[in-house]
Chain A
């Protein structure tokens, strides 16, 4: 099949961007979306043009590197699917696609489709951990953990930190990302001692980075490649209020 692409090109953070139009012929339905970009980039290179820069690494939906907005949808049309897991069989011969980077002031564009997501790391540094030094751990089975709680913690821990939640949110809020980490640790006994500090510090850092507030659009849950539930956001709010009250 033939695919018509309109791809966001931007030379650098302070440069203006624009859509460029490309035609990719002979696309196989079994190709992944990123493999189509590989083919395009080979074409551009041989024509003496600059290839499109985009982030990618694992190409199996787990590292959270890839980040394309396809026809207005973060990670494209399929539910629970990162861009790299999307296959061209989800599109039709002759389709015209608009491909853009995540859009959020906290995620500035570095070049073309590559954005700067360091804000996520800084939020994690603010408290996304249990303070335990290496070598201080008791036997792993010394604290039994209810299987249901452990499974639920795993549901939240599955976040790949791609940032699609931010890209999809009308307010560019990072609440799903932050809520997921908080919920993961709050569901486990190991997360309890620092629970209050953690929620306060991470929520404040999120604000400081310029992410917006959550106003319950739930777009984040819809685009999340791991299907993380917005129940994590509600839990974050509850914990935040509790922690603030406890601090008073």
Chain B
């Protein structure tokens, strides 16, 4: 099968406009007859469900949490980008596009990224109209700040709770449509399988997480908005329920999974403090605007940070990257933290952290200004670590944060299964090998508010739909498969808990498929994870039963899928014999230790196709760059 991205023809700036001009429309009467399933109610899912319902489609929306408002998007702190150029510092759609494609180390599609930059401004307008209380200046106009990797101020924010406010905005739009009867909202449901009829996505199987019942839902299209898979590493900044299950079951039904190895390790997180640690907490990277990153020059230096004089400190980011300094992109900042800790210069009890110091900016701007900018983050830090960052530098370390890879989609956001679309972090589409700060919220809302209403409409208008009801054999088959899997998990009754397996998997992933990778390590990961999977299915202990709320059972199913995903990610990383963005292969680096891309051989999207027996098959979507010149990313 040849992957066709279905990018519209014409000059980059006109592709989306032309697409909209030539769009096939669905008449209002007909929209009502089409039922659409939206799985997930984060930024992508809630915005898509609300907008499609406003247009007249009949929507069923699903989420794992007890309310749509609690999706993982709620946790995003720092902000959302848009090319408004309100500060007048030279920003434009082109510049946002260029920064995003360069930031992604030239491993994303020009057409998708350009459309994203175009939509960015509409998002801010829409959110303000919903009542999202973005930060403002005294004149009453919207405030902006600059965020890692950008030289303009284009980030809009609502204190340190931007994701919360954007999600509550989308959730309010969704609630309005629920009350209008256009959306049926199903909370505490987990999608366990996709139902494919005559080659098209026509429904899903869910488990009611309160009663354990398996349920069938039929529709004319299915939108997968289920978020990222960072929890494959066990420890990450993702919420505990974030998972790959829905995407993985779709993979097994024919949806290709792309660029799995492109994961983002975020440089500013609170370091691990014990083996009971259940998740990691991000400290927004906006902190790098005013905090300076350093370690002692001498590995033996054990003085408390305040007593280490200027000449014995190494502000390594400022030293190595004078023009970007502490604001280098995430992958660069993370990798350098690893280098200095590998050299034994890390700080704290474990030696696995570096300082982020506000001393100088407190001196320069005063405590009040710093507290206004970061007060809630400082509070959060102190609550977790018991240290006061106004007095001692923060200690930070990289942690898994975001997954650029995901379900493969074409320009329409349609997967390789017709009628199955994928939006938000769950798809692979816009961030290449590295995502810039404040661009995931932008992508989720662009996909949901401004792309899918058109592209899905195009699909609906162009197809004829046979009525399919939930008594169809395909539903029975999928439901039975889910039931058997659940029974199997409960019946093993082995000696190890789900958590123990998850932690072991996470260790493989962090050690070998983490910040720095090499062929030998990746091979170790592949065989190690495969053995772990085998052991899981023979020795896991899942307590309780299927006919009640049973979180151990939910987590068991998710870890089982992570075990398969981990192997595919390691293979993807092994196959990609270059370094780019967050994917750093030790064999491929410049003499200064920077990522060395190989555009001749690897300027492609790696899309994996599941096989019933035998290993997954790799398909390549060649990336064409007609508008930007591929350069070595330099932040020196």
The segment out of B94-102, B378-386, B463-471, B511-519 that lies at the interface is B378-386
Q: Given A59-B279, A60-B380, A63-B65 in contact, is the A140-B84 Cβ separation under 8 Å?
A: yes
CA of A11 to CA of B497 in the docked complex: distance in angstroms?
A: 22
B548 touches A12 (CB 8 A): yes
B158 touches A45 (CB 8 A): no
Q: Is B175 among interface residues, defined by CB-CB distance under 8 A?
A: yes
CA of A41 to CA of B278 in the docked complex: distance in angstroms?
A: 13
B164 touches A188 (CB 8 A): no
How many positions in chain B have a CB within 8 Å of any CB in the partner chain?
A: 78
Q: Is B618 among interface residues, defined by CB-CB distance under 8 A?
A: no
Q: Given A125-B175, A125-B178 in contact, is the A63-B70 Cβ separation under 8 Å?
A: yes
A137 touches B129 (CB 8 A): yes
A145 touches B386 (CB 8 A): no
How many positions in chain A have a CB within 8 Å of any CB in the partner chain?
A: 78
A134 touches B50 (CB 8 A): yes
Which of B179, B453, B499 has the most chain A CB within a 10 Å cutoff? B179
Q: Is A117 among interface residues, defined by CB-CB distance under 8 A?
A: yes
CA of A59 to CA of B500 in the docked complex: distance in angstroms?
A: 20
Q: Given A35-B278, A130-B130 in contact, is the A147-B51 Cβ separation under 8 Å?
A: no
The segment out of B132-140, B417-425, B528-536, B583-591 that lies at the interface is B132-140
Cβ of B384: which chain A residues have Cβ within 8 Å of it? 85, 87
Which of A60, A130, A139, A184 has the most chain B CB within a 10 Å cutoff? A60
Q: Is B131 among interface residues, defined by CB-CB distance under 8 A?
A: yes
**Shortest Cβ distance from residue A78 to the other chain B in the assembled complex, whole angstroms:** 8
A58 touches B75 (CB 8 A): yes
Q: Given A35-B278, A137-B128 in contact, is the A53-B551 Cβ separation under 8 Å?
A: yes
A111 touches B549 (CB 8 A): yes
Q: Is B391 among interface residues, defined by CB-CB distance under 8 A?
A: no
B67 touches A121 (CB 8 A): yes
B131 touches A147 (CB 8 A): no
Q: Given A118-B66, A124-B172, A184-B131 in contact, is the A53-B549 Cβ separation under 8 Å?
A: yes
CA of A34 to CA of B551 in the docked complex: distance in angstroms?
A: 14
B122 touches A135 (CB 8 A): yes
A62 touches B187 (CB 8 A): no
Give residues of chain B (470-486) contacting chain A, Cβ–Cβ below 8 Å. Answer: none
Give residues of chain A (30-51) contacting chain B, Cβ–Cβ below 8 Å. Answer: 30-32, 34-35, 38-39, 41-42, 44-46, 48-51
A145 touches B179 (CB 8 A): no
A65 touches B65 (CB 8 A): yes
CA of A32 to CA of B278 in the docked complex: distance in angstroms?
A: 9
CA of A184 to CA of B134 in the docked complex: distance in angstroms?
A: 12
Q: Is A216 among interface residues, defined by CB-CB distance under 8 A?
A: no
Cβ of A133: which chain B residues have Cβ within 8 Å of it? 51, 54
**Shortest Cβ distance from residue B68 to the other chain A in the assembled complex, whole angstroms:** 7
A161 touches B276 (CB 8 A): no
Q: Is B596 among interface residues, defined by CB-CB distance under 8 A?
A: no
A121 touches B130 (CB 8 A): no
Give residues of chain A (143-170) contacting chain B, Cβ–Cβ below 8 Å. Answer: 143-147, 150-151, 153-154, 157-158, 160-161
Instruction: Look across to chain B and name the residue whose beta carbon is closest to the beta carbon of A44.
Output: B543
**Shortest Cβ distance from residue B56 to the other chain A in the assembled complex, whole angstroms:** 11
**Shortest Cβ distance from residue A226 to the other chain B in the assembled complex, whole angstroms:** 9
Cβ of B380: which chain A residues have Cβ within 8 Å of it? 60-61, 85
Q: Is A120 among interface residues, defined by CB-CB distance under 8 A?
A: yes
B274 touches A31 (CB 8 A): yes
Give a binary string over A118-129; 1 marks a CB under 8 Å from any B CB, 0 the rest.
101100111011
Contact of B140 among A45, A60, A85, A146 (CB under 8 A): A146
Cβ of B136: which chain A residues have Cβ within 8 Å of it? 144-145, 147, 150-151
Cβ of A138: which chain B residues have Cβ within 8 Å of it? 125, 129
Cβ of A41: which chain B residues have Cβ within 8 Å of it? 552
Contact of B277 among A35, A140, A158 (CB under 8 A): A35
Q: Is A131 among interface residues, defined by CB-CB distance under 8 A?
A: yes
Q: Is B18 among interface residues, defined by CB-CB distance under 8 A?
A: no
B70 touches A57 (CB 8 A): yes
A185 touches B131 (CB 8 A): yes
Cβ of A118: which chain B residues have Cβ within 8 Å of it? 66-67, 187
A161 touches B69 (CB 8 A): yes
A130 touches B165 (CB 8 A): no
Beyond known contacts A57-B240, A59-B281, A85-B380: 7 more, CB 8 A cutoff: A45-B552, A58-B72, A117-B66, A121-B175, A129-B173, A144-B139, A154-B133
Q: What would be 15 A-B contacts, judged by CB atoms less than 8 Å apart? A: A31-B274, A35-B276, A35-B277, A49-B543, A51-B551, A55-B66, A57-B240, A60-B279, A63-B72, A81-B383, A134-B50, A140-B125, A141-B86, A147-B137, A188-B131
Which A-B residue pairs are the 8 nearest by beta carbons? A144-B140, A129-B172, A137-B129, A137-B125, A125-B179, A154-B133, A140-B128, A134-B51
Taking Cβ atoms with an 8 Å cutoff, the residues of B that contact A are: 47, 50-51, 54, 65-70, 72, 74-75, 84, 86, 122, 124-131, 133-142, 158-159, 161, 164-165, 168, 171-173, 175-176, 178-179, 185, 187, 210, 239-241, 273-274, 276-279, 281, 380, 383-384, 386, 449-450, 453, 497, 499-500, 541, 543-544, 548-552
